[in-house]
């Protein structure tokens, strides 16, 4: 199985446990790795047979803008489910970064894998 990836996809979302976080929007960054059979698309040069990076990025961005969560764990799980269901991806690794959340750290985050390669 091939891997299609998107690195450092920037989205804006309302996310956080603290009250002040629930009234502001914050930057999050997604790293997505998705199992997908690229051979049919490669053989035909047909976007309809490929995992459309743009459509995946747009779906994640729209989801992040329209959903509020307290935990980044919940956001990562929800995005993994969204991509697997909407794009028929059998396996996904989602790494979600929340930069600036800790004073002395560049970023913090979670990484999950769902499905089978």
Give, to the nearest 10 degrees, the angle between helix 72-87 and helix 53-66.
140
User: Kind and range of the H or E element at 82?
Assistant: helix 72-87
Q: Which of 27, 62, 93, 98 is catalytic?
A: 98
Q: How far apart are CA 6 and CA 30, in angstroms?
A: 8
Q: How far is CA 84 from CA 1, 99, 105, in A?
A: 15, 26, 31
Identify the residue whose tokens are 């979600």: 96
7 among known catalytic residues: no
Mind telling me the catalytic residues? Answer: 98
């Amino acid at each position: 199985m091939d891997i299609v990836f998107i690195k450092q996809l920037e989205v804006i979302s309302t996310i956080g446990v603290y009250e002040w976080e629930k009234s502001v929007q914050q930057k999050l960054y997604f790293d997505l790795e998705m199992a997908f059979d690229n051979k049919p698309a490669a053989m035909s040069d047909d976007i309809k047979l490929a995992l459309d990076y743009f459509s995946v990025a747009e779906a994640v961005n729209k989801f992040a803008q329209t959903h509020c969560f307290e935990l980044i764990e919940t956001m990562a799980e929800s995005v993994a489910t969204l991509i697997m269901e909407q794009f028929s991806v059998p396996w996904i690794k989602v790494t979600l970064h929340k930069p600036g959340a800790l004073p002395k750290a560049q970023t913090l985050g979670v990484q999950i894998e769902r499905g089978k390669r």
